[in-house]
């Protein structure tokens, strides 16, 4: 197929699914314990909008781990976290946010390429999509271990799309997310920011970030909004 005129990138947690349970957090805690013997938790950590590796780093620092230990053990922790989560991920089909399935079907019918930009580690993100019944809609993704910031993940996603010839120079790109970090990442990459208030961040706080579009949920998102 020729490169598309539109590309849509989606965050996962709070955007595509919500209230997915404690399994993700538990996998991070268990992975640190398995790799280092250190007991940690994510209490008081504002994990929304953060990348998994950053969450792991804060958890380790709060438990007194040195920078050297964190640097040395991080690859092993990341591997364990993904292995644990893919074994424990629950069914998430009833956790899909309003309007998501219909929107993805419409994009699919219009042959619009769709990708993920998420703070989840790769296998965790894909497992969530699989157990939510959404994996078939996504061609590619950029995940937590691939960059140090969400803006960096957007850049990687765009590079992937160009490399796979999914887009051309004039393709209109949108990033759909539920957090100010998503809006900031879109702006830093010159793509349309679409904020949706289905996560933990209220609409008023999202509005203060001045996204290009602000929606209560994806039921009100119409396809022409991606073109203009």
Answer with the residue of higher pLDDT: 174 or 47: 174
Tens digit of each residue's pLDDT (9 = 90 or more) over 115-131: 999 999 999 999 999 99
Give the pLDDT of residue 28.
Answer: 96
How many Cβ atoms are within 10 Å of 157's Cβ, its own excluded?
27
Q: What is the pTM of this model?
A: 0.94
* Helix H or strand E encompassing 194: strand 192-196
Tens digit of each residue's pLDDT (9 = 90 or more) over 176-218: 999 999 999 999 999 999 999 999 999 999 999 999 999 999 9
Strand 140-142 to 167-177 pairing = unpaired
Give the pLDDT of residue 217.
Answer: 96
Looking at residue 146, the DSSP 8-state letter turns out to be: G
Give the pLDDT of residue 43.
Answer: 81
Give the pLDDT of residue 3.
Answer: 86
Average pLDDT of the residues in 91-109: 96
Res. 105: pLDDT tops 80: yes
Domains, the chain, in order of start with CATH, read 4-19+94-227 (3.40.50.1000), 23-88 (1.10.150)
Average pLDDT value for the chain: 95
């Amino acid at each position: 197929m020729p490169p598309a005129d539109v590309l849509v990138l989606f965050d996962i947690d709070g955007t595509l699914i919500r209230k997915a349970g404690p399994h993700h957090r538990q996998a991070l805690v268990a992975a640190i314990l398995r790799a280092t013997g250190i007991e940690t938790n994510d209490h008081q950590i504002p994990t929304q909008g953060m990348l998994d590796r950053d969450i792991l780093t804060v958890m380790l620092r709060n438990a007194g781990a040195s920078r050297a230990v964190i640097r040395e053990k991080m690859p092993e922790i990341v591997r364990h976290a993904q292995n644990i989560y893919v074994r424990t991920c629950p069914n998430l089909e009833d956790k899909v946010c309003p309007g998501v399935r219909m929107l993805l079907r419409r994009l699919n019918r219009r042959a619009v390429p769709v990708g993920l930009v998420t703070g989840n580690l790769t296998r965790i993100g894909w497992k969530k999509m699989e157990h939510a019944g959404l994996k078939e809609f996504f061609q590619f993704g950029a995940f937590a271990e691939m960059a140090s910031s969400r803006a960096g993940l957007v850049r990687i996603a765009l590079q992937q799309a160009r490399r796979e010839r999914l887009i051309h120079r004039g393709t209109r790109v949108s990033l759909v997310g539920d957090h100010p970090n998503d809006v900031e990442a879109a702006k830093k990459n010159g793509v349309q920011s679409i904020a949706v208030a289905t996560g933990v961040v209220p609409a008023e706080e999202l509005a203060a970030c001045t996204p290009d579009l602000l929606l209560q949920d994806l039921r009100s998102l119409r396809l022409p909004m991606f073109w203009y």
